[in-house]
Amino acid sequence: MEKTRKLHIGWLVTAMVVVLLIIDQWIKLYIKTHFCLGESVRVTDWFFIEFIENNGMAWGMSFIGKFWLSLLRSVAIVGLIWYLHRIIKQGTYRLLYIILVAMVLAGAIGNMIDSLFYGLIFTASSPYYVSYMVPFGDGYAPVLMGKVVDMFRFPFFSYTWPDWVPFWGGQHGTFFDPVFNFADACVSVGIIALLLFCRKELEQLGGDKDDKKDEKGKDDVKDKKDKEDKNNREEVG
């Protein structure tokens, strides 16, 4: 019964990751092949579809070179897959926690697909023409060097700093101006939900080693006591 439950959870998580990846890639492929670089479509005053590309992590952040970032992302994905398999196999974690970890994994894989393949199968994006697919390997960049496609922008409101504010006085700004994609949203929503609703499971991440130390300590005490009892019996004998 328990084995069947774990199997069902494994298939559920796999299906969820696949569905999220299909949604992410469908959106990116549509934007990539229908928008010029920098093209923007106004949906509402606070929501725009705007095509940009970036070399970095979620929300366009970048701290290291593209190649090393892609390698780091690959290692993180492998680690997440291993961890997800482990917590499903253990069978002691809530389904909510497992689903949220899988959501983060799906987002990481979604952006990794861009880095792996988009440079191999697309022409370079341009403000003057729409990118199109080419034979595999004839694209604008080698493997792991493809750019991540972003498209969602939510400029909730604009503001102007008062003239008396040092450095920024008189400058215009927009609240929440980053452009992101569906995969970024999966990662962000997953992490925020984990922090809000899965504190117990997150605390256990650092507690496993302590539990093992406690168990080892108890075993050492038990072995020592058994040895003393054995020596006492030999002395009596």
Long-range contacts of 14-18 (CB under 8 A, 24+ apart): 16/99, 16/102, 16/103, 16/106, 17/102, 17/105, 17/106, 17/109
Provide the greatest CA pair distance for the chain: 97
Catalytic residue among 150, 210, 219, 220: 150
Each as own residue / partner, the long-range contacts of residues 60-69 (CB below 8 Å, 24 or more positions apart, any chain) are 60/150, 60/178, 60/179, 60/180, 66/115, 66/144, 66/145, 67/144, 67/145, 69/115
Q: Where are the beta strands (DSSP E) in 82-203?
A: 148-153, 157-160, 172-175, 179-180
- What are the two backbone dihedrals, phi and then psi, of residue 56, each rounded to the nearest 5 degrees? -100, -155
Task: Please confirm, yes or no, whether 220 is among the known catalytic residues.
Answer: no
Could you say which of 24, 114, 184, 223 is catalytic?
A: 184
Per the annotation, the verdict on 229 as an active-site residue is no
Cα-based distances in Å from 1 to 5, 8, 92, 98, 234? 6, 11, 14, 19, 49
Backbone angles phi, psi at 61, to 5 degrees: -70, 150
Q: What is the DSSP letter of 122?
A: B
Q: What is the CA radius of gyration of the chain?
A: 26
- Beta strands (DSSP E) in 122-197 are 148-153, 157-160, 172-175, 179-180
Provide the annotated active-site residues.
150, 184
